[in-house]
Amino acid sequence: MTHSHDARQAAGAAALDIAVIGVGARVPGARGPDALWSLLMSGEDGLTTFTPEQLAAELEALGEVDRARYVPRRGVIDGIEAFDAPFFKLSAAEADLLDPQHRVLMEVVWEALEDAQASDCAGASLGLFTTSGLSQYLIRHLLPDPALRERHGELQLLMLNDKDFLATRLAYFLDVHGPAVNLQTGCSSGLVALHYACLSLQRGDCAAAVVGGVSIALPQQSGYVYSENMIGSRDGVCRAFDRDASGTVRGNGACAVVLKPLAAALADGDPVRAVIKGSALNNDGRDKVGFTAPSPRWQAEVIARAYRDCGVALDDIDLVEAHGTGTPLGDPIEARALNQVFGGAGTGRTRYLGALKTQIGHLDTAAGLAGLVKLCLALDHDTIPPTAHFRELNPRIGFGDAPFTINREPVAWPRRERPRCAALSSFGIGGTNAHVVVAEAPNCEPQACDGPQAIVVSARSAASLAALRDAYVQALEAMNEADAAGFAAFAAATRVGRRAFEHRLAISASGPAEAVARLRAAPARAAAPLAAGVRIAAEQMAAVAQRLGVTQHADRPDALAARLAALGIRHDQSAPLRLDVSQGAWRLEWADGASLTSDEPLSTPAGLDLQILLWRAGIALDFRLSAGRRGRPPVAVPTYRFERQRHWIEAARAGEAGAAAPPAAGAPPATLVALEVLLLAQWRGLLGQPALRGIDNVFEQGANSLTVAQCVAQLTSTHALPMQVVDCYDAPSVAGQARMLGERLGLAAGLAQAPAAPLPAAEVEQFNNL
């Protein structure tokens, strides 16, 4: 009876399993999951120690006592001042104002989706669960500038910086339709977001989900003043659970994971990195000494309930990734909670305790997700990484009969008969606690494929395409030539699930060395448009032949259609070709249902050439069909290479930001040319697009409802133009708006009715640039 009940409970829990199918990370000392794994295995930290010269201004502002206690260390990430605005369909002006936390998380989420082979997700039921830190860019860089507030409006600044709009901005960019939710519980926010993402998947609110967390404190180039009994470390080193632990160090960074119900992921052949077995949340309430203090009782409760609810035995846990801040108060309390739960479980076996904060610092809202990425990588690599800066256990910590070991060297963690399991904790200031239980993914070995493989590369710009090709070449050069299965998995990952952009190249090769040579030689260009439609008129030709009694060449039109299709020339229809693949055969289908079928497998050289030809020509091919539904193991393929440009507004020093100058008032322009010049200058300033032309659609250049309202308000107040918001939608180009307003003002359509006096030279020059 009990055994039957337990079996049913286990089966029910397994039905709720959630797969982690993609990860992304940008943390101190590591850009990307592979770099993070290298950092983990090194046993060193990725924090930065600043020189006195770098900190001169900050140190000068401190008193003598604070200067003596100043710790010049922090975990930073490079490049937060730059962003690929065109890739994310933002104007230059929006990018200048966008919180670097939003920028970085947008990039990391995209990288996680590519890692999951799922970036081609437009229109999908994809949920977004995000969390971020306070926007210090808004507070320190934007709001202190009255002129900036006047020019852009506080609502625009808030929408581009506040955490409330992070998930919805991602949903808008990706064009996905699942829940888009931002959650905030302090340090535990990342795992809380993960918990609710899993619930949303289990309820069917979305088919897949992304969980992302980011925290970037500004200025990055700064340390902190050490204070006894506060969270900061005395010497800028985090020594979790060590006898010399004195606190943690702040770290900036972002992490993201892509989730899907395990059953669906396996059915779809997705690359499963790990399985989330269950999670639990609670809060300390008032059962602690103060609002910011932790509670051992409620930490223990949430840990125990996570295992009870998901049906995983405590004895199955090999590794616990601790919250591990390295503080004199926090570490002993966390150890006491672990003792309470694990005491007596698995006596005589080794269970490891890890703490990622010792290497990347405390990522605040993103800390829990960073720990999850670490566990996924450890399971991938069959190794438990060491905990940095650990030498001797804190004497205030006693694990008693809960046998935890903190390893100083990597430990092998091979697969065995029972699934390997791990867990992680995250505890937020204010008392929201989270614990997550993770297991290894079902075994999925890469399968060797005979014959050549297609490798495709695409990007939004020529520069990004060239950079991504170089990254592919570098990855392939490091690959073992004899690893046919690994090469096939790499090639498939370039094709399956990645969004295809307009700049493309593609090759076929039978191994890494051949692929490197062909990638280097392949022409990189924008997708060539399909040839003009060709009308074969097969039915009409057949009717004429029948009337004439000529039947021996009746099959020629079909043969011609096949030849033209193989060359990428489409039938004369309004919709493009679609290539369907099933059971090794392919079919080209046109809008009217006409199709062309061949039994020749696409895996043959001729079939691959057809795929590459059509893909280069801009046809959307669903490579999942040719890859089949077999499982695809996780594989490290370089992710998109963003073409970043500097988008940064420096923080104004105290007293430097002046009052906003009132806009210069003036009468409406007297000529149509002058009107268009005025509108163009206004739009160029609002969008940050100095190259904007009169014929350009302002919405395609980044305008939105807020910028439209700002444009209309400024033009009506400063130049008395009879302009309405709806005008910008009726005439989305600057030239169109000028013509519409010119008619209302009675301005001539051309220069013939302009005043006899010549236009100023500066105005003529602007006109020449319209």
One-letter identity of residue 30? A
Nearest partner of 435 among 343, 309, 327, 350, judged by Cα: 309
Query: Exposure pattern of 561-573 as b/e (b: 16+ CB <10 Å)?
Result: beebbbebbbbee
Catalytic residue among 141, 362, 389, 719: 362
Nearest partner of 508 among 486, 520, 491, judged by Cα: 491
One-letter identity of residue 646? R
Catalytic residue among 102, 152, 195, 323: 323
Query: Exposure pattern of 450-474 as b/e (b: 16+ CB <10 Å)?
Result: eebbbbbbbbbbeebbbbbbebbbe
Is 362 assigned a catalytic role? yes
* DSSP annotation string for 547-598: HHT--TTTTHHHHHHHHHHHTTPPBS-SSPPEEEEETTEEEEE-TTS-EEEE
476-480 own/partner pairs: CB under 8 Å, 24+ apart: 476/512, 476/515, 476/516, 476/519, 477/512, 477/516, 479/512, 480/512
The answer to whether 581 touches 625, Cβ cutoff 8 Å, is yes
Distance CA 566, CA 534 (A): 13
Any idea which residue has 């989706």 for tokens? 113
Query: Exposure pattern of 654-679 as b/e (b: 16+ CB <10 Å)?
Result: eeebeeeeeeeeeebbebbbbbbbbb
* DSSP annotation string for 638-670: -------EE---PPPPTTTPPPPPPPPP-PPPS
C-alpha distances (whole Å) from 479 to each of 32, 102, 394, 474, 635 are 19, 35, 44, 9, 12
End-to-end CA distance of the chain: 82
Count Cβ atoms within 10 A of the Cβ of residue 418 and give its class: 0-12 exposed, 13-18 middle, 19 or more buried.
exposed
3-state DSSP call for residue 49? Answer: strand
**For residue 355, what are its two tokens?**
């703490």
The angle that helices 672-687 and 734-745 make with each other, rounded to 10 degrees, is 140
CA atoms within 13 Å, Cβ hemisphere of 237: 14
Is 381 assigned a catalytic role? no
Report DSSP state, residue 356: T
Catalytic residue among 121, 187, 238, 711: 187
Q: Which spans in 221-329 are helix H?
A: 262-267, 296-310
Is 187 assigned a catalytic role? yes
* Active site (catalytic) residues: 187, 323, 362
